A and B are shown apart, each in its own frame.
Chain A
Amino acid sequence: MADPHAGAGAPSVFAVAFKDAAFAALVALGLAAPMLGLVTVQTQSGIELEQHWGKVAIAVAIVFAGRLLLNLTLWRPGRKKSLGYVPPKVEARLARFAKYLAPLAILGAVVMPMLPFTERYAIDLGILVLTYVMLGWGLNIVVGLAGLLDLGYVAFYAVGAYSYALLAQYFGLSFWVCLPLAGILAAFWGVILGFPVLRLRGDYLAIVTLAFGEIIRIVLLNWYWFTGGPNGISGIPRPSFFGLDFDRGDDGFAATFGLTYSPLHRIVFLYYLILALALLTNVVTIRLRRLPIGRAWEALREDEIACRSLGINTVNTKLTAFALGAMFAGFAGSFFATRQGFISPESFVFMESALILAIVVLGGMGSQFGVAVAAVVMIGGFELFREFSDYRMITFGLVMVLIMIWRPRGLVSTRSPSVFLKEKKAISGSLVQEGHG
């Protein structure tokens, strides 16, 4: 497989490649030795350390051989870099294709549970994916449109979930009453967070939002008498179909419609509920982009100082972005609570924020379709990799690295203008700013 020219014509190229591969192998050794080589195993007498040096050797060999091969072929000096480059024409054609793809995807999502071969597992997975699609679209308002890096988005998800759980527990309110309330409460917390952090930009904003996410989680964990602390809240009421419960009773959903009772009814109902909520998020975001507030968000992402010179109140504009993003997270949170029936602070760790942010960045900041695809890839992929067990995270990381090399601006990197005179031209991602908070 090795390139014959590299070996014969230019021995120095091979030497350089060899040296680089050896260095990569050394790094791989450093990483693999503790991660693969040493495994703790539970035995009857306690925990024992097992050693797997064979696995380490294989990993190091793969890295060395792979790196050497790449150095001699794809990464050979002087070779034009073609990786990650998609010609603008192809890009535009893809974008046009995407226009038909989006309605098709929605149609697919709508008919999916009705298909005869769809199992319960698929619907459950669909619910999970759609929850993240919705969260991704919500965060897209904050990160993708307004360019404010929010690392604590899960806090608003938690506020939504706990709002519903607590309102149901203490006041016995139903899901349909709590859904808007949860959204409003989350938006309220978005504004509360927004006020102090608006002066901060970039990395500082990210750090403060990260801290806010942790504060919410730790308060939920320690406010024992109110939130149940680490025990969480269980027995959260399930949603009803306009007052009809999904149970075996005579006034249940199945009996009223003359169907035989099946636990699947509720699952399918939850699926359509989250689909509707996600589509609501999408429709609202698409509309907002064409309104002055949406344009002001994007302008804020491009240049905040110019915005101020044009009479745009940047404080209010940022606050609305925060509040609206938080509101959709609140909706998703109350859905999460009603679906699970049990919530605890463990569900709202930083990893979730990172995952949602990864979905937005991977999808292409600001692109609705890209975010949806990224959510399917990330969450669906995560499930597919389940059988890799311990290697799941590694595989996941590898895939992300590859995608970021191939498409550093996300799957859909072009921006589509909100308004046009003659022709709607996609704007190359390289011209679009990412925002500085």
Chain B
Amino acid sequence: MIDDTPALPPELLLRVERLTMRFGGLTAVNDVSFDVRRGEITALIGPNGAGKTTVFNCITGFYKPTVGRLTLASKEGPLLLERLRDHQISRKANVARTFQNIRLFGGMTALENLLVAQHAPLMKASGLTVLGVLGIGGFNKAERAAIEKAKVWLERIGLIDRADDPAADLPYGDQRRLEIARAMCTEPVLLCLDEPAAGLNPRESLELNALLRSIRDQDDTAVLLIEHDMSVVMEISDHVVVLDYGKKISDGAPLHVRNDPKVIAAYLGVEDEEVEKVESEIAVEATS
């Protein structure tokens, strides 16, 4: 299946072509194409119900697209994501994701959450459990390495002191960062974040920006994010794709998108009381 897949240009990581997703009579995503480049933060924005999360679910294997091709440049060559099952997306294609409503393992500690994310290599080290139960093989060494890696991530998100606390006990902002760290522990080439800044206060939002930048620059991981918070989008993204009613209406650098009349219309074509809010957001961005 790799053979018949055309290779992507080297700077591209993911190419989404003519993606369409229908649920019965509803077309949630209609003929959307865009590219995600290596070493960049790509933002997927749009009003509520524009189909952003549906695009995410198609990329991460939770939905099978009705039409379209999703080509990922993996280490072993180009890979068609729509042909992989959900758990293979993480293992073979190295695409990780977070969720709009945080999905941590609440009853497990922060450390355990990060170890679950390293399931595949640890499973191999435990000889598919058989050797691990008997206490032979290199499992202990592999587990120590996994804990070290988890420690590095806990340091990076500033939660090393709370490593042994259950995830559900952490404050909201910490949970968001822990979920990102958990996704990063799978060593992804593409990290998909579904509204990572939702519900964060301004300080936490700044911490998140720094974390996402460090992921882009240090970890050789491209980031694709859905976000409503324009300050986050304009601040950190290198490339913005705008969806409205399931269609792509704009695609380009943040500055280009911000001044695109179609985008302004899509954002202003809402309830009267929201007009001012959106206008002020855009104005704030323009002056800053």
Contact = CB atoms under 8 A, between A and B. Distances in A.
Interface of A: 284, 287-288, 291-293, 295-296, 298-299, 302-303, 305-314, 320, 415, 417-425, 427-428, 431-433
Given A292-B122, A309-B97, A431-B166, A287 B132 contact: yes
Interface in B96-123: 96-97, 99, 103-109, 111-112, 115-120, 122-123
A296 B164 CA distance: 18
A303 B129 contact: no
A298 B104 CA distance: 12
B87 A313 contact: yes
B106 A302 contact: yes
Contacts of A421: 111, 147, 151, 160, 163-164
A320 B107 contact: no
B77 to A, nearest CB: 19
Contact of B107 (A292, A307, A431): A431
6 contacts: A291-B126, A295-B119, A310-B117, A312-B87, A417-B111, A417-B164
A433 B107 contact: yes
Contact of A305 (B99, B118, B120, B133): B99
A311 B129 contact: no
A420 B91 CA distance: 26
B250 interface: no
A119 B243 CA distance: 79
A219 B250 CA distance: 65
B90 interface: yes
B105 A309 contact: no
Nearest to B154: A421
Nearest to B151: A421
Contacts of A420: 109, 111, 163-164
B54 to A, nearest CB: 15
Interface in B157-174: 160, 163-166, 168-169
Contacts of A293: 123, 126, 129, 132
A359 B181 CA distance: 38
A427 B99 contact: no
B165 A306 contact: no
A431 B112 CA distance: 14
B90 A418 contact: no
A309 B60 contact: yes
Contact of B115 (A295, A305, A307, A313): A295
Nearest to B106: A431
B147 A419 contact: yes
A417 B99 contact: no
Nearest to A291: B132
Q: Of residues B99, B105, B129, which shows the largest number of chain A Cβ atoms within 10 Å of its Cβ? A: B105
Given A288-B133, A417-B164, A421-B163, A310 B90 contact: yes
A431 B160 CA distance: 20
A420 B104 CA distance: 18
A431 B165 CA distance: 11
A100 B151 CA distance: 31
Nearest to B139: A291
Interface in B63-105: 86-91, 96-97, 99, 103-105
A428 B133 CA distance: 28
B182 interface: yes
A298 B108 contact: yes
B58 to A, nearest CB: 14
Nearest to B105: A302
A311 B90 CA distance: 5
B30 interface: no
B240 to A, nearest CB: 24
A432 B112 contact: no
B42 interface: no
A284 B133 contact: yes
A311 B103 contact: no
Given A293-B123, A311-B87, A306 B133 contact: no
A288 B139 CA distance: 12
A415 B132 CA distance: 22
Contacts of A427: 107-109, 166
Contacts of B139: 291
A428 B87 CA distance: 30
B115 A419 contact: yes
Contacts of B119: 292, 295-296, 310-312
Contacts of B143: 419
B186 interface: yes
